[in-house]
């Protein structure tokens, strides 16, 4: 998961540098007034999203499998805990009825 995040960040930073260069040399339009930095960041975000979607498909699938495994493991642990609690509750009720 960390690898995917770092790769995404790398693509964004690369796009940020390219977009900054395009705006700096007047190829891409500048933002309004003092919003130039925000404009560059938003434009880089818009450009990097489809690139990441296509270029990181395999890594995203790997990360998704890892997340699914964690969720399954957590569900199994929760079910086991619930079973232990139910058993303890039944034993406590049986002891109170026997007394």
Q: What is the mean pLDDT of the chain?
A: 88
Q: What is the 3-state secondary structure (H, E, C) of 13-71?
A: HHHHHHHHHHHHCCCCCCCCCCCHHHHHHHHHHHHHHHHHHHHCHHHHHHHHHHHHHHH
State the pLDDT confidence band at 57, using cuts at 50, 70 and 90: very high
Q: What is the pTM assigned to this prediction?
A: 0.67
**pLDDT digit string, tens, across residues 33-46:** 777 889 999 999 99
Q: What is the pLDDT of residue 99?
A: 65
């Amino acid at each position: 998961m960390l690898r995917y995040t770092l790769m995404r960040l790398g693509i964004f930073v690369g796009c940020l540098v390219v977009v900054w260069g395009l705006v700096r040399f007047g190829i891409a339009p500048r933002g309004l007034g003092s919003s130039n930095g925000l404009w560059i960041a938003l434009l880089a975000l818009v450009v990097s999203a489809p690139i990441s979607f296509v270029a990181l498909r395999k890594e995203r699938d790997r990360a998704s499998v890892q997340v699914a495994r964690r969720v399954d493991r957590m569900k199994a642990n929760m079910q086991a805990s619930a079973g232990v609690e139910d058993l303890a509750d039944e034993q406590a009720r049986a002891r109170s009825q026997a007394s």
